[in-house]
């Protein structure tokens, strides 16, 4: 049921402060306010306990991990997220899940490369600072794209450098000035995983290294790249798990937000 006054949207539920102010000002009666609070701090969907307070604690709404969930479960979770928040990010979503979600949420967008489903706030995402996502090879693009979309949905301005791996290092060095302008960098590489070490030696910003499972047999599904990044001789590099573009993008966005806040 839509609430009265300025809280008239049936899709968005107010945050705690907005809800209390609405009750105080008479725009929402006490019984309606109590009903809203029943779903806080989590919403029980039967198959899922949706954390509705994550944005208040961590600055970003709950992100939905799509792998292993049915399309109907993803739709139910996505709909619930949008009742409480102005944006949605689903990672590792299947095309089938994207089709089911789009039938009920027409403004949802599916990125086939990153396998993400997104819904942006009205007016778009506020983008600030700069997170640069650097990708060693075209085969690493799905992970790099996941990182880029995640960082942008978390409020970062995002740029990308694709196919600049160490096998042709002149491709990377041509962008040195651009590399040095970022508040945080996500560097994605498979094979021997050398690219983050090179980038780490060129910049003064934090580098989040992402090993991918791209490579021949002795890469062991990304383990070789993971170990190379963990043993990097360059300073200022942190490493996330194999193929974890989401984790890298989220961390880069947090670093970027702190950096831009300090500059303001």
Are 190 and 238 members of one domain?
Answer: yes
Closest to 162 (Cα-Cα) out of 194, 192, 195, 201: 195
- 159 contacts 167 by C-beta, under 8 angstroms: no
Name the one residue in this structure whose structure tokens are 């791996």. Answer: 165
- Is 138 part of a structural domain of the chain? yes
User: 50: exposed, middle or buried (C-beta count within 10 Å: 0-12, 13-18, 19+)?
Assistant: buried
Inside any domain, residue 235: yes
Is residue 23 situated within a structural domain? no
What is the separation, in whole angstroms, between the first and last Cα of the chain?
A: 40
- Here the tokens at position 207 are 């580098």
Decide if 53 is inside a domain.
no
| Burial (0-12, 13-18, 19+ Cβ within 10 Å), 227 | middle
Least confident segment among 49-58, 129-138, 175-184: 49-58
Q: Tell me the per-residue pLDDT of 158-201, one tens digit each, with 9 for 90 and over.
A: 999 999 999 999 999 999 999 999 999 999 999 999 999 999 99
| 94 and 205 inside one domain | no
Name which of 8-12, 40-44, 125-129, 167-171 the model is least confident about.
8-12
Least-confidence region, from 28-37, 93-102, 223-232, 253-262: 28-37
**pLDDT single digits (tens) 153-170:** 999 999 999 999 999 999
Shared domain for 152 and 209, answered yes or no, is yes
How do 49-51 and 64-65 pair as beta strands?
unpaired
Residue 264, pLDDT score: 62
Q: In this predicted structure, what is the pLDDT of residue 7?
A: 39
When pLDDT is averaged across residues 130-136 and rounded to a whole number, the result is 97
Q: pLDDT confidence of 15, banded at 50, 70, 90?
A: low
Mean pLDDT, range 12-17, rounded to an integer: 58
Q: In this structure, are 222 and 104 located in the same domain?
A: no
* Alpha-carbon span 199 to 154, nearest angstrom: 24
Q: What's the pLDDT at 214?
A: 96
- Kindly state whether residues 191 and 73 are assigned to the same domain: no
Asked if residue 9 has pLDDT above 60, the reply is no
Q: What is the mean pLDDT of residues 27-45?
A: 77
Domain of 77, in residue numbers: 63-119
Residue 193 sits in the same domain as residue 93: no
DSSP per-residue codes, the chain: -PPSTT---SS----HHHHHHHHHHTSS-HHHHHHHHTT-SEEE-SS-EEESSHHHHHSSPPPEE-TTS-HHHHHHHHHHHHHH-S-EEEES--HHHHHHHHHH-TT-EEETTTTEEEEPPTT----EEEEEEEESSGGGHHHHHHHHHHHHHTTEEEEEE-S--GGGTHHHHTTHHHHTT-SEEEEEE-TT--HHHHHHTT-SS-EEEEE-S-S-GGGGGGHHHHHHHHT-SSSSEEE--TT-HHHHHHHHHHHHHHHHHHH-
What is the rounded average pLDDT of the residues 115-132?
91
- Same domain, residue pair 100 and 190: no
Question: Both tokens of residue 119?
Answer: 């819904």
What is the reported pLDDT for 154?
Answer: 94
Give dist(CA 178, CA 153) in Å, integer: 22
Q: Is residue 85 part of a domain?
A: yes
Average pLDDT across the chain, whole number? 89
Domain boundary among the residues 119, 137, 167 is at 119
Task: State whether 163 and 254 are in the same domain.
Answer: yes
The count of domains in the chain is: 2
**Residue 93 reports pLDDT greater than 90:** yes
Q: Phi and psi at residue 24, in whole multiples of 5°?
A: -60, -40
Which pLDDT value is given to residue 38?
66
Please choose, from the candidates 182, 164, 115, the residue with its C-alpha nearest in 3D space to the C-alpha of residue 143.
115
Same domain assignment for residues 104 and 141: no
The pLDDT assigned to 89 comes to 96
pLDDT digits (tens, 9 = 90+) for 62-91: 899 999 999 999 999 999 999 888 899 999
Residues 152 and 68 in one domain: no
DSSP lists the bridge partners of residue 210 as: 188
| 15 belongs to a structural domain | no
Q: Is the pLDDT of residue 107 over 80?
A: yes
Share of the chain above pLDDT 90, in %: 68
CA distance 87 to 33: 23
Would the pLDDT of 39 be above 70?
no
Residues 178 and 115 in one domain: no
Q: Are residues 218 and 236 in the same domain?
A: yes
């Amino acid at each position: 049921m839509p609430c009265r006054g300025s809280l008239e949207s049936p899709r968005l539920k107010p945050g705690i402060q907005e809800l209390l102010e609405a009750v105080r000002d008479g725009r929402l009666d006490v019984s309606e306010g109590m009903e809203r609070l029943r779903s806080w701090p989590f919403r029980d969907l039967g198959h899922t306990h949706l954390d509705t307070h994550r944005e208040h604690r961590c600055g970003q709404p709950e992100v939905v991990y799509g792998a292993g969930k049915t399309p109907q479960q993803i739709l139910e979770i996505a709909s619930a997220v949008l009742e409480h928040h102005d944006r949605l990010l689903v990672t590792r979503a299947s095309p089938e899940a994207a089709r089911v979600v789009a039938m009920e949420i027409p403004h949802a967008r599916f990125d086939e490369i990153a396998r993400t489903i997104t819904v942006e706030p009205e007016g778009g995402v506020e983008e600030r600072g700069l997170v640069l996502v650097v990708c060693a090879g075209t085969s690493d693009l799905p992970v790099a794209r996941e990182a880029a979309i995640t960082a942008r949905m978390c409020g970062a301005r995002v740029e990308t450098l694709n196919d600049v791996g160490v096998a042709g290092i002149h491709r990377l060095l041509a962008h040195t000035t651009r590399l040095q302008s970022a508040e945080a960098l996500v560097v994605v590489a498979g094979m021997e995983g050398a690219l983050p070490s090179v980038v780490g030696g060129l910049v003064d910003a934090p580098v989040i290294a992402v090993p991918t499972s791209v490579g021949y047999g002795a890469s062991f599904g990304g383990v070789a790249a993971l170990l190379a990044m963990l043993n990097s001789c360059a300073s200022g590099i942190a490493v996330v798990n194999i193929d974890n573009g989401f984790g890298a993008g989220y961390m880069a966005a947090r670093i970027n937000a702190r950096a831009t806040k300090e500059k303001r």
